[in-house]
Amino acid sequence: MNVGGVQVGGGAPVVVQTMTKTETANLTATMDQIRRVADAGADLVRVAVPRDKDVEALKTIVRESPIPVIADIHFNHTLALKAIDAGAHCVRLNPGNIGGPEKVAEVADRAKAAGVPMRIGVNSGSLPKHLHELERENSVEALVTAGVEFVALMERLDFTDFKVSIKSTNVPNTIAANRLLSERIPYPLHLGITEAGTKWSGSLKSAVGLGTLLADGIGDTIRISLSTFHAEEEVKVAWEILKALKLRERGPVLIACPTCGRLQFDMDTVVADIERRLEAYADPVEVAVLGCAVNGIGEASHADFGITGAKNEGLIFSRGKPLKKVPQEQLVDELFKEIDKYAATKQIDVNAAEQAAGAEWLQRIEEENAGELTPERLAKLEAESARADADAIDAALTEKVTLDESASPTAGRRFSRA
């Protein structure tokens, strides 16, 4: 389906959407929030349309919004009709609470005539009455049944330009229900965890629930629901989930060590500062922050740029190689000078003399700390030991198969022709 020029489903990249938290009729506040979510990377934005004055505002919003606008309608189908007339790029409604199939049919007819797609769906808290008993026995099946019934209704109305959402506050139920639904219907799926919670807990619940489904290849558009007035925070979380799964790229990726007792500078402040400053960049550069240089820079050798420190000095490195040694208090500013040069030229600026001085410094730190069992070195030792165990098991199995074959009465005849 196509929402105002944004493709949803059919193999298109997973679409990021959010919802404004302002009173829609307050045009200044709503447009301000829409611009902020668009800047943060929202592909689509949804606005609540509970009153006629919101429909009035919608006419201006769809004209001025930099991204397509979805009208969110509940209970009153005439608002859905008016929202379509106002130019909404998509209408979201729950066919179970809009006043019966005739009203849904009226909206579907108007949407079809206007070429406006719809999102239909249901949340765990608003299942139709006839599914309440099933909900008590099997809430996942009840959600999926509601979704499938709504799809059947739309198909009977000869309207198929829609995506479907079935959402729950319960993460395992959301995962199970969407897995089932994706097997039963061929339409694009909108994923979300209803009332996920605060920025902290809601982001985690969404990352687990939506991330699991997206990793399975399920889901065409996502909305992160957070209890914050700042809708752009929802967009940032959505992007972090998509970037973590390598489903989409947008802006820099920051990686940072977890820190430990070897830490050589105030990582909390430095990482927060770097994260904030990176928001201004569009390039998908990977930036690493290592709390000490004891391990060398091998762990972050894939990063486009990185910093690490020891005592009063620090190192800027790039793609596994030192770039230059700098006083520790200048680490962050010097890092951003390198990122700025790269952003302007798409080239990493290497000065051979500075690189050699950095390499010498790094080698000295590594040698001084050669015996240290750091978390990274322990992980490496564990991986090597696991590999050695796996090799030993493989060798033992191969030997057993060889012995079994030579002891078998059919040994040597396995490949002879009759």
Residues that bind ligand SF4 (CB under 6 A): 257-260, 262-263, 290-292, 294-295, 374-376
Residue whose CB is less far from ligand SF4, 260 or 393: 260
Residue that is written with structure tokens 């009063």 in the block: 312
Residue whose CB is less far from ligand SF4, 197 or 375: 375
- Nearest approach, Cβ of 303 to ligand SF4 (angstroms)? 13
Helix, strand, coil shares of the chain, percent, nearest 5, are 50, 15, 35
CB within 8 Å of 260: residues ≥ 6 apart: 291, 374, 375
Work out whether strand 15-19 and strand 44-48 pair parallel, antiparallel, or are unpaired.
parallel
Residue whose CB is less far from ligand SF4, 53 or 364: 364
- Nearest approach, Cβ of 335 to ligand SF4 (angstroms)? 16
Is 195 exposed, middle or buried (CB count within 10 Å of its CB: 0-12, 13-18, 19+)?
A: middle
Residue that is written with structure tokens 């619940």 in the block: 205
> What beta strand segments (E) does 220-340 contain?
221-223, 253-256, 286-290, 305-310, 313-318, 321-327
- Nearest approach, Cβ of 298 to ligand SF4 (angstroms)? 11
Which residue lies nearest ligand SF4, judged by its C-beta?
291
Residue whose CB is less far from ligand SF4, 36 or 380: 380
Residue whose CB is less far from ligand SF4, 239 or 265: 265
Whole-number Å distance between alpha carbons of 265 and 280: 24
- Nearest approach, Cβ of 160 to ligand SF4 (angstroms)? 53
- Nearest approach, Cβ of 309 to ligand SF4 (angstroms)? 9
- Nearest approach, Cβ of 301 to ligand SF4 (angstroms)? 13
Whole-number Å distance between alpha carbons of 58 and 75: 18
Residue whose CB is less far from ligand SF4, 164 or 274: 274
How many other C-beta atoms can be found within 10 angstroms of the C-beta atom of residue 265?
22
